[in-house]
Every structure is written in structure tokens, then in C-alpha cells.
Amino acid sequence: MNIVIWDIETDSSNTFFGTIIEIGAILINENFQELDKLNIRCRLPEGVVPQAGALLVNQSNVSMLTKANYSHYQMLQEVEATFKKWSPAVFLGYSNINFDDEMLRKEFFKGLRQPYLTNTNGNKRQDGLNIVRAAFAINDKIMKTETNEKGNAVMKLESLARMNGIESGGAHNALFDANLTKLVLEKIYKEQNITWRSAMMTGSREEVENFSKNELMFSLNEYFYGKSKLYLVTPLYHEHMLHPIYKWVQAFDLKFDPKIYFDLPLDELKTEIKKTPKFIRTIRSNKAPVLLNSDYASKAEPYSVMTKEQLLERAKLIKSNKDFCARVSLALAEIAQEKRDTGDQSDITPEESIYVKFVDNKETPKMEKWHQASWEDKFKLLDKFEDERLVDFGKKIIYQEAPQVLPESVTKEIRRGIAKRILSTNKEKWTTCSDFYTECDHFRNEFEKEGNNEKLKFLNEINQFVENIQKKYEAA
């Protein structure tokens, strides 16, 4: 199966309200030979206030934000078309599961596109950082690393590349970072191939579940407080292996004696499950975990001081105790429901609702038809959507791309909505003009102390850019 190694640069660290402004991707085969690539940057959408820190990191100046060849809509269109052309494939980046994937999903959702492109229709996904951490858990000498003030290995992409003789001077350019990821992972592919092959076997929820069903026990790699650790676990009885709400694999940590928990009343079992260290470990089946042979964890403490017979006995006790596993499942369901009952979802915006309410499948052909239509017809076709979120997103896309086709009343409504958001002086979920100026002043003070005139000039240009946005929408 081919592999897509990709990276994005954004105007914000907020995946709900941020904007992708650059994407780079490399298509390779299973032997790491390059087959194709994508490198594309877009203009910042109208009325969007960026985070100063994000632009400083990826060095996106005003010219880049305003004069790129592609609009934001056009860029997403090109990315979707290219990723579909390259499919089916394994899509991976570096720390992409929690950021790049989330950002792309939410951008596609707001862009009236299918959000789950990278893990549906035969596609799988993995995370380069997960692979690196698993490799280090097996052999902490696999690569040279810097160490932080706590003495832990630094696994940031730029640092890891630089320490291993890979040119990293262009880091935080999307295509450059995608290539850095390729070069770092290629080292693991060549020098610790078992980890690479294991990662390629758990890129989908179904693969993780099948692996877990077929193994009596295995090594789970997790990362806590700067250290990569291995846990020897056995999945619960197959009928109760998945979390009753979240559908993630649940496994028992074999450093604990299962007999202690078998006869506990439900309330006591719930109390024990909540404690740390946890005897029930969650394997997030849709988050590309790296699962390894049991031999790796069994050689690490505290499992190494236990006999193989003792570990096998514990694993078999768990796998065969259907009643206990059923009660664990019931306890997990009650714990999840308690969390839901205490959660407040009253102020969730449409942008944040991607996982709260999934888009109905019957809207999919309407979205495809919408993208194929002219801008005039796009506005008319919004009446066909039953999901009001899609209507709202569609109006905003037309405002960005072809405002002349909108009735004046709709244009005013959108402009006032943008103004209300970006001119707010309250603490909001998105970046306001006030947030930008506060952040900008912080960096300006730092650069003045350093005497860094180049970065001061960069900040001043971005500051003027935001002031112009503010002035425009104060008149809305």
C-alpha cells in the first residue's frame, strides 16, 4: 500500500477555528520511493484574524497571506482531489493525529466536504511521532537526540532530524517538514523494520480490533511525562473488548493481579478503574496505536521480574472471565455517562459540532453537486440542505469566493457576524483583534530586548494587516 506523508502550516493552533494556509505532501511506495508530491499555499480568508505566534513559526508574511495563487476554497479543492487520486493509502505526518488530521477534518467539514477522507474508503492513517516513540521504547539508541531540562529525549521533528545529520534549516515549511518526516521514518524503516511493519498493521480501527482479538497478550506503547513506556496487556473477553460508548479496545495491564478485582461490587470496581496507575488501559483504536509483540514489554520492568507462566496465567484468567469483563464494560459505561451528564454543550458553535452531530449521509450527494455548480447556483442549492450548519458554512464560502452573487441582506448578516466575533473584547474561543494585539505586544517586547529588527519588521507588517481588518469590520 502506498503512503502519503503530509504536513500543514496554519494561522492558529486552534483546530476548530484555525485555517490551513499551506500543505505539503509526498506520495511514496512501500520501499520509500517517491511517486508524486503536492505543495500548495493559499490566501488567508476574508475577515480571519491570525495568531501572531503561528505566523512567526511558519514565517508567513503579509504578502504570502494576501497574494498566494490559490484561495482557501481552491486549496481545499486541490487537496481533496489529490488525496482522492492517491487513495487508497496510509496517510501519516508527524504528530498529525492530534493536529493536522483534526485541522483537515474540520476544514473539510466547514468546507462542505467529507471530513474523514484520510481514514475511509480503504484509507488508513498512522502518526510518525507514534512510530518514533515506539522505536525508542524498544531501543533508546535508535537515534541521537537532544535532552531537555528534565533529562528526557527531545522528539521534536526538527531537533531529531538535525541531531541525525538531516538538514533541517527549512523546518516549518509544509513540504520541507513532510520530507523531514520521510527521512526520519526511513531510518526506522531500515534500522528497526519490525516497528515500521507493526505500525503499518494498525492504521485503522478494524485492524486494531482484529489484532487485539487474535492476540492473548501484546506490548502497548504509550508516552507519559516525556518517557516512552511499554505495557504488557491482554484485551478483555472479545464480547466486551470495546468500550461501550467510545468503542476503543480495553485491555488489562498484566502487572496487576486480576483476582483482586474479580469479585468487587460494581461501585468499588468503578472506583478502582478511576485510580492511577490504571489496571484497565484504553487503546484508542482510531488513533493509530503501535502494538508490538509481547516479548518487548515482558523484558521491561515490572514485567521482567515476573515469570512467563505467571503472565500467561493472568492473561488467560482475563480472556476467559466473561462475567468480569461484562462488569468492567458496565462500569465504563456508567463512568462515561457521568462525564456526559456533567458536560456543558450549550454554547457549542457550528464549527465545534463536528463530533457532536455527524452530517447525515443523505447530505453527501448534495455537497458533491454543490461543488460542481456555478457560484450563482451554489447559493440557490443551499436551500436543498437540511443541516443548517451546512447552509451557514455555504453562505460563508460564497462570501469569501463570490460575494457578488449574495443578496445584500445575506452579505450584511455575514459581515456583522465576522465583526461581532473579531471585535469582541471578551475572552473568546477564536482569535480576536484584541487577542492578536496582546500577543503581538508580547513578542515585540522580546524582540526589542534582543534587538531583532528583522522580526520586529515582520510583526509590524502583520500588525498593520490586522489593523486594516479591524477598520474594515468596524464599519460593518
CA triplet 437, 441, 445: central angle to 5 degrees? 175
Other CB atoms closer than 10 Å to residue 201's CB: what's the count?
15
Distance, CA of 140 to CA of 145 (rounded, Å): 9
Give this prediction's pTM: 0.94
Q: What are 262-319's pLDDT values in tens digits?
A: 999 999 999 999 999 999 999 999 999 999 999 999 999 999 999 999 999 999 999 9
123-127, 148-152, 385-389: the lowest-pLDDT one: 148-152
pLDDT at 344: 62
Residue among 393, 331, 384 at smallest CA distance from 362: 384
d(CA 66, CA 107): 19
In this predicted model, what pLDDT tens digit does every residue of 19-67 receive, in sequence order? 999 999 999 999 999 999 999 999 999 999 999 999 999 999 999 999 9
Surface-to-core class of residue 147, CB atoms within 10 Å of its CB (0-12 exposed, 13-18 middle, 19+ buried) = exposed
**Residues forming beta bridges with residue 232, ordered by sequence position:** 219
Q: Are 70 and 43 in contact (CB under 8 A)?
A: yes
Determine the pLDDT at residue 172. Answer: 76
Q: Is the pLDDT of residue 341 over 90?
A: no
